[in-house]
Structure 1
Amino acid sequence: MYQYTRTAFLLLSITITSFACQNGSGGNEVTIVDKIETQATNQYYVSNRAPLIPSSLIKLPVGSVKPEGFLKEYLLRQKEGLTGNLGEISAWLQKTDNAWLSPDGEGKWGWEEVPYWLKGYANIGYILEDQKMIDEAMVWIEGTLNSQREDGNFGPKHFDGDNQDFWANMIMLYCLQSYYEYSQDPRVLELMTNYFKYELTVPDENFLEGYWQKLRGGDNLHSVFWLYNRTGDEFLLDLAEKIHRNTANWTGRDLPLEDIKNYYEVRDGGEVPDWYRDQVDWHNVNHAQAFREPAQYYLLSKNEQDLKASYENFEIIRNHFGQVPGGMFGADEDARPGYADPRQGVETCGMVEQMNSDEHMLRITGDPFWGDHAEEVAYNTYPAAVMPDFKALHYITSPNMALLDAENHFPGIGNKGPFLMMNPFSSRCCQHNHSQGWPYFIENLWMATPDNGVAATLYGANQVEVKVGDGTLVTIKESTHYPFEEEIQFSFSMEKPVEFPLYLRIPEWVKSASISINGELVRDQISGIGFAKINRTWYSGDQISIQLPMEIETKRWEKNSNSLSVSRGPLTYSLKIREKYLKKDSDETAIRDSKWQDGVDTKKWPSWEVHPVTDWNYSIIVDENDPASSFEVMKGKWPSSNFPFTLEEVPIKMVVKAQQIPEWQFDQYGLVGELNDLPKTSDQPVVDVTLIPMGAARLRITAFPELKNSPSTNE
């Protein structure tokens, strides 16, 4: 379980240890810090203005980070897949009668789908410098900019009952902010200023009233602070207070049951447990997206209890529904008491919103924990949710999932319909919203620091351009096959030498990291989550290597039948199950609220069932006192496709002993049987099985049943 108490201590204190050495390029000072100091203010990138709490980490403008390796391949596959083609196939994105392109906000199509999709689509265009994508995005940006009305309101006229629904506009504000970072178009600031003045005039009793918008007010709050940091308009602080007091109570504990608005049920008709009242909502996407709202408000309130509440929110849902590997939780649509087995899953929307929230929390707090967690979701759960060609995805992804078919699995999962199969129309929300996951992750690989330095906050192959020190533009190329390999190399180029601090995130799972500069070891035996700060004068041609040794670790999930999971560094491993793909007609299998544009050749966009070809009902035999002794790590060549998340091309595997559990079968709902029904012993022979990274497994067993010693094991 994630520990708030440790993290809270880090937020209130800074621990520093230092190590210095000399080499040919001058002095190197290496210190290990729990978090980055905020006494200074970055001179080159927009930071928090007073009275907001000073920025811990500062987002670089979109396009500053250019992905390489499989991160670039992901964007290219998105461009050729659903993200790049939804404008031609999704009815919600058709331009005819679209309220987002209407000056008066009227039209048949006009809610969350356009901005959900545009968040990712436009940013992929900016990052790849793809003019065709940028031009298409500008159709929607210009339509939005031209939609502002005299009262300051903009966008579709969409209502939740008698009140305006502000939710879709919250998403579009993200799109406008990215466009401003890319273009510096002053119309964005003008629209946002007038719109926020309009929001300030709406009576509280009519503001953020309804379900989605009331729970997700933190996104509105984020945009208000974004604008305040650029204009300094003090009325925005009044609006921030208004948004917070009208947003659902994400700090609340022991709430009245009537305050919890999501659909819920208790298994077998039991009583609602007391702990269920400790969250204002248990919808999976709402939680992943909105648990951070108190921490966002903390920037203005400066009340440590607000910050603490977001950490607690993160832990509460994982304590009751997140006792599983992969970083997420088993909510299906809505978390239901009594349904927490590793076969329960999470929406693809929930994954990308969790990644976005982790990135927000990393910037707000400077706590490297959030970098660890963003990687855990991005490199394990999210790749498993999407077909390798990015032309289909499924709504629900779980740690234990051995069959993806078009059947209805309710009430085993909390959704009625074909929500497990890979479908280009796996519900209108995830179909559009998944597009933000990788471009936002890439944008946050690097962040500026208050002391005019730069921090490697997430790891992956890329190249960044950033102003540091005295304003010199530095290019840093990060070369790595992380998270599959342990070494990350950084090379520097700039027009003149410049002094600035570089921060490298040290993940919590690392036991003995080491850093070399220009081939000379400057620090080793680094352990414990934090940042390695290297303060020196940098020269063009300088090189850094950081080694992050990846040890095999096991974890017992005591609250989930004492199941076992295996990780190596940032990657969680799953049983390799051979897969058989069956093509289905998407006209027949599309989720009920998905809609094609007229005239689309739907045969080009099939759905897929994925069936197991090999047995999946194994548990593994591990010496938990010495896990490494139980596994043979097999490293292969890096795939020529630059895409490591498939059974055929994954570059690392592990072999381990295992036994079948014959009683473990698909149940009456067509789902992997629950762990608490299984025997603790097996009389089956001990065999070798292969484990692969979770993200490469469209079918997987990741939480293995507890299996106590049996005669076969002893033999």
Structure 2
Amino acid sequence: MKYAGLASASPVFDSSFDWLGDPAKSVRTGEFQLLPLGSVQPKGWLRRQLEIQANGLSGHLDETWPDVGPKSGWLGGTGESWERGPYFLDGLIPLAYLLGDERLKAKAQRFVDWTLKSQTADGMFGPASNNDWWPRMVMLKALAQYQEATADPRVVPMMQRYFKYQLAALPNRPLTSWGRFRWQDQVLTVLWLYDRAPDPALLDLAKLLRAQGYDWMAQYENFQYKEKMSSAHLDQMEKMPGFKDIKLATHGVNNGQAVKTGAIWSRVSGADSDRQAVLKMIAELDRYHGLPNGMFSCDEHLAGRSPSQGSELCTVVEYMYSLEQSLAVLGDASLADRLEKLAFNALPGTMTDDMWAHQYDQQPNQVECSLHKEPWSTNGPESNLYGLEPHFGCCTANFSQGWPKFAANLFMTSAQGAVVAAAYSPCEAQLKLQGTNVHIAQETEYPFRGSIRMAVNPSKPVKFPFLLRIPGWADGAEIAVNGRKENAPSAGTFARVDREWKQGDVITISFPMQPRVITGFNNSVSVERGPLVFSYNIGQDWLKLRDRGMTADWQVYPSSRWNYALAVDPAGSSQKITVTERALGDRPFAAEGTPTQLQVKAKLLPSWMANEGTAAVVPESPVESAEKEETIALVPYAAAKLRITSFPRLKESS
């Protein structure tokens, strides 16, 4: 790999690099290639989001939470020695290097240096008090990112020694528990190393991990987990033949990580059926557990389609990561559509605007955040509080990876030498194509606006294809180069613009941003515009439960009525919805000053009530109401910390 320098925070991706070494030993390449960390830099509102994160819990977690503090086992201390240190580093490294933040780099470096020095003569590394394979899978992901950003020469040999050790040790100490269900995350790192230092033994290790790991693709070929998995249901099924692993098989985070299994494994198997398993898994999750924010329910186990159920924050960021990795292998535009939906809705929707507190579980229909046992499938009463570590601390350690990895993967390249605009947000990319440096600057207020401008500036004229993703909702999109319109692109594809590019060339993309009415669970309706999902913002009273070092835990109670039914066209027409746009502020996902609002006619539905702080199951539509018609405002999902996202639909006569 060619970099501008050892300590550069902006490595230049060289598409002429031989990623697979000796073709006789190589594994299958994906349709696209991910760029090394730092090739894409966030700008505009996206950079501001990362800065808020750095100034919030992510950038100070080690100062206020002992699990990743100075006594962490991953710093040689006697503290937590399992997954939390690696989780923290997995998000801290891309955050630090994308921002060029020396303070955060220094925090990350302490973990990296200790981990690299911890390796023993046989190849094992990490805290001696814990020999579980699983946390080391996470640490390897973090080290791969660190190596891409710094070219530190210690990382590749360290991985080679560890993988040699593991190949010898696994037959007598096989994968168990979390590692057995998350084996694909290590295969990902094994192939990362193979792409840089081909060795047939690495493929032997990948095959052994697959053989010992859980068969996710078989689970989704005959998907049986079609209902809410309550604790009693899980305990009962666990006693039945063939279901001894049901608690791990229906665990939300495991399934979020598993989505990429087929894509990753197809690089070894070469089987198209493995590639298509990604889409099969997403389709089954949507069919039986899909929610209007793009997530599937998992609080903490699969929980059906009611929008009053929740999703774990760990699952949001792991699902995003699975989509990024799967997109690179499959080149399927729908995966990027889903990635954007999660990034612009579910991810910011589960954190306070200053990112000093987060939820363990978020709900699309979330009318109260308080100490109630309902409606969770298996979680506890603190699940939807905003705080330091509500319910359980895994998400506290893990959530930081969401925004940085999304920003790092906005651009990709293809095996045919094309530049790929995979997802859209303000950024710039530095690439090397056919030996020519190419700088691309993307200016946009997307997802709040539908216009995108890309300035393409090669150091000298160079011919290459540019693949521009056209979202599946974007019928009528337009593309122009230097003011001249290209052929009308098709929604749900990558539009190809193939030409010789020169300094000063400009691509403009215009996406239609009409509101869309989507029918969901119980024929309820939700409203989308572009990749944004919109919600009714319930009035809020925040009550501090307790101080937690530099942050606090909060309950949130409703201060306004929320039980509305919408007067919208069941065919999905947006004629009755009015759009209001305002300037983007420093916090575009905050309720105060939100850049986009929708106005829609609605009536209160008094029969739809809450129980134990949870909105009752959304009534079957259509419904009738004798209440007075009102005009209510809908805001982007993430702006409403208490919200209704799935509404009953009024009968026309009502």
Q: Structure 1 length normalisation: TM-score?
A: 0.84
Aligned to 2:486: 522
Measure how far apart 1:417 and its partner are. 2.5
Identity level (%) = 33
Measured after TM superposition, the shift of residue 282 of structure 1 is 1.2
Following the alignment from structure 1 to structure 2, what is the Cα–Cα distance between the partners of residues 129 and 257? 47
Asked if 1:219 corresponds to 2:185, the answer is yes
Q: Deviation of residue 148 (structure 1)?
A: 0.6
CA distance in 2, matches of 1:378, 1:268: 34
> Which residue of structure 1 lines up, in the alignment, with residue 630 of structure 2?
687
Contact 1:508 1:529 in 2 (8 A): yes
CA contact 2:537–2:641 (8 Å) conserved in 1: no
- Does the aligned pair in 1 maintain the 2:527–2:533 contact within 8 Å? yes
Residue 308 (str. 1) matches residue 276 (str. 2): yes
Distance in 2, matches of 1:411 and 1:132, equals: 41
Give the secondary structure class of the aligned counterpart of 1:561.
helix
Q: Does 1:505 align with 2:469?
A: yes
| Structure 2 match to 1:595 | none
C-alpha offsets along residues 679-709 of structure 1, whole Å, 9 cap, x if unaligned? 9321111111111111211111111124334
Q: Which residue of 2 aligns with 1:654?
A: 598
- Cα deviation code 1:280-306 (max 9, x no counterpart): 711111100123223211111122232
Amino acid at match of 1:457: A
Mapped partners of 1:234, 1:320: distance in 2:
40
Partner of 1:63: 38
Provide the rounded CA distance (Å) in 2 between the counterparts of 1:701 and 1:665: 12
Q: Which 10-residue stretch deviates more, 625-634 or 183-192?
A: 625-634
Q: Secondary structure at the match of 2:215?
A: coil
Q: 1:82 aligns with which of 35, 44, 57?
A: 57
Q: Which runs of 5+ in 1 are unaligned?
A: 1-40, 588-601
What is the aligned partner in structure 2 of residue 466 from structure 1? 431
The match for 2:265 is: 297
Residue 214 (structure 2) pairs with residue 248 (structure 1):
yes
1:441-461 per-residue CA deviation (whole Å, 9 max, x = no partner) reads: 001000122122311101000
Matched, 1:43 2:16: yes
The 5 Å alignment of 1:103-142 reads: 107-142=78-113
- Relative distance call for 1:677 and 1:554 in structure 2 (3 A) is closer
Could you say what secondary structure the match of 2:446 adopts? coil
CA shift in 2, pair 1:358/1:268, >3 Å: closer
SS of residue in 1 equivalent to 2:118: coil
SS in 2 for 1:370: helix
Residue 565 of structure 2 corresponds to which residue in structure 1? Answer: 619
Q: What's the Cα RMSD here?
A: 2.7
Q: What code does the residue aligned with 1:662 have?
A: P
Equivalent position SS for 1:629 = coil
* CA offsets 1:466-522 (integer angstroms, 9 cap, x no match): 111x22111111000001101000012232222221111111111011111112222
Deviation at 1:630, TM superposition (A): 1.0
**Alignment counterpart, residue 332 of structure 1, candidates 294, 299, 318:** 299
Give the 3 Å change call, closer, same or farther, for CA 52–269 of structure 1 in structure 2. Answer: closer
Structure 1 residue 678 displacement after superposition = 8.8
Query: Which digits, 9 at most, give the CA deviation of each residue in 1:234-279, with x for residues without a partner?
Result: 1001111000011111022488999xxx985439999999999998
Secondary structure, counterpart of 2:486 in structure 1: strand
Measure, in 1, the Cα distance between the counterparts of 2:183 and 2:509: 40
Q: Which residue of 2 aligns with 1:569?
A: 530
Determine the C-alpha separation between the residues in 2 that align with 1:432 and 1:289.
16
Is contact 1:518–1:542 with CA below 8 Å preserved after alignment? Answer: yes
Q: Equivalents in 2 of 1:388, 1:256: separation in Å?
A: 38
| Structure-2 change in CA distance of 1:192 and 1:492 (3 Å) | same
Name the stretch that deviates more: 672-681 or 297-306: 672-681
Aligned residues: 634
Contact 1:654 1:692 (C-alpha < 8 Å) held by counterparts: yes
**Matching residue of 1:37:** none
The CA distance in 1 between the partners of 2:145 and 2:240, in whole Å, is 42
1:208 paired with 2:175, answer yes
For the pair 1:286 / 2:254, whether they are aligned, the reply is yes
Q: Deviations over 1:545-598 (max 9, x none)?
A: 0111122222212xx2111111111111111223232233135xxxxxxxxxxx
Contact 1:409 1:671 (C-alpha < 8 Å) held by counterparts: no
Residue among 158, 162, 172 paired with 1:191: 158
Deviation at 1:409, TM superposition (A): 2.3
CA distance in 1, matches of 2:332, 2:245: 24
Mapped to 1, the partners of 2:51 and 2:635 lie a distance apart of 24
Equivalent residue number for residue 229 of structure 1: 195
User: Structure 1 residues 284 and 472, CA, compared in 2 at 3 Å: closer, same or farther?
Assistant: same
- Distance in 1 (CA, whole Å) between partners of 2:281 and 2:78 is 38
Question: Residue 238 of structure 2 contacts residue 244 of structure 2 at CA under 8 Å; is this kept in 1?
Answer: no
Q: Alignment partner of 1:251: what SS?
A: helix
What is the distance in 1 between the residues matched to 2:243 and 2:475?
37
The equivalent residue for 1:590 is none
Report the 3-state secondary structure (helix = DSSP H, G, I; strand = E; otherwise coil) of the residue aligned with 2:180: helix
- Distance in 1 (CA, whole Å) between partners of 2:467 and 2:92 is 30
> Contact 1:424 / 1:586 at 8 angstroms: preserved in 2?
no
Output the amino acid matched with 2:17: Y
- Take 1:187 and 1:270, find their aligned partners in 2: how far apart are those partners? 47
**Shift in Å at residue 413 of structure 1?**
4.8
C-alpha contact 2:432 2:438 (8 A) present in aligned 1:
yes
Aligned equivalents of 2:266 and 2:59: distance in 1?
Answer: 37
Given that 2:567 and 2:602 are in contact with CA atoms closer than 8 Å, whether structure 1 keeps it comes out as yes
8 Å Cα contact 1:393/1:424 also seen in 2 = yes
State the partner residue of 1:167.
Answer: 134
- 1:309, 1:568 → 2: CA distance? 29
One-letter code aligned to 1:224: V
Which range moves more in the overlay, 193-202 or 618-627? 618-627
In structure 2, C-alpha distance between the alignment counterparts of 1:367 and 1:545, rounded to whole Å:
22
- The range that moved more, 573-582 or 396-405, is 573-582
Choose which of 617, 634, 647 in structure 1 pairs with 2:580.
634
Residues 587-598 of structure 1 mapped to structure 2, 5 A cutoff:
587=548
Aligned-partner Cα distance in 1 for 2:230–2:170:
28
* CA separation of 1:397 and 1:256: change in aligned 2, threshold 3 A: closer
User: How far did residue 661 of structure 1 move?
Assistant: 0.9
Q: Compute the displacement of 1:317 (Å).
A: 2.2
Unpaired runs of 5+ in structure 2?
1-13
Deviations 1:635-673 (A, max 9, x none): 12222x2x2111112111111111111011111x22111
Give distance in 1, aligned partners of 2:367 and 2:240: 31
Contact 1:45-1:60 at 8 Å conserved across structures: no
Aligned 8 A contact 2:341 2:532 in 1: yes
Per-residue CA deviation, residues 152-177 of structure 1 (Å, 9 max, x unaligned), is: 11112355xxxx41110000001110
Residue 613 of structure 1 aligns to which amino acid in structure 2?
Answer: S
Instruction: State the TM-score, normalizing by the size of structure 2.
Output: 0.92
Deviation sequence 1:306-346 (CA, Å, 0-9, x none):
22333222222221111x2111012210124xx53111011
CA contact (8 A) 2:297 2:310 kept: yes
Preserved contact between residue 441 and residue 455 of structure 2 (Cα < 8 Å): yes
- Give the Cα separation in 1 of the matches to 2:18 and 2:347: 30
Opposite residue 649 of structure 1, the aligned amino acid is G
For residues 424 and 203 of structure 1, do their structure 2 counterparts lie closer, same or farther at Cα, with a shift above 3 Å needed?
closer
- Check the 8 A contact 1:384/1:695 in 2, yes or no: yes
Instruction: Give the alignment of 1:205-604 within 5 angstroms.
Output: 206-209=173-176, 211-253=177-219, 264-266=231-233, 281-322=249-290, 324-336=291-303, 339-405=304-370, 407-410=371-374, 412-426=376-390, 427-468=392-433, 470-524=434-488, 526-557=489-520, 560-587=521-548, 602=549, 604=550
* Partners of 1:556 and 1:317 in 2: CA distance: 17
C-alpha change, 1:564 and 1:263, in structure 2 (3 Å) is closer
Distance 2:222 2:423 in 1: 36
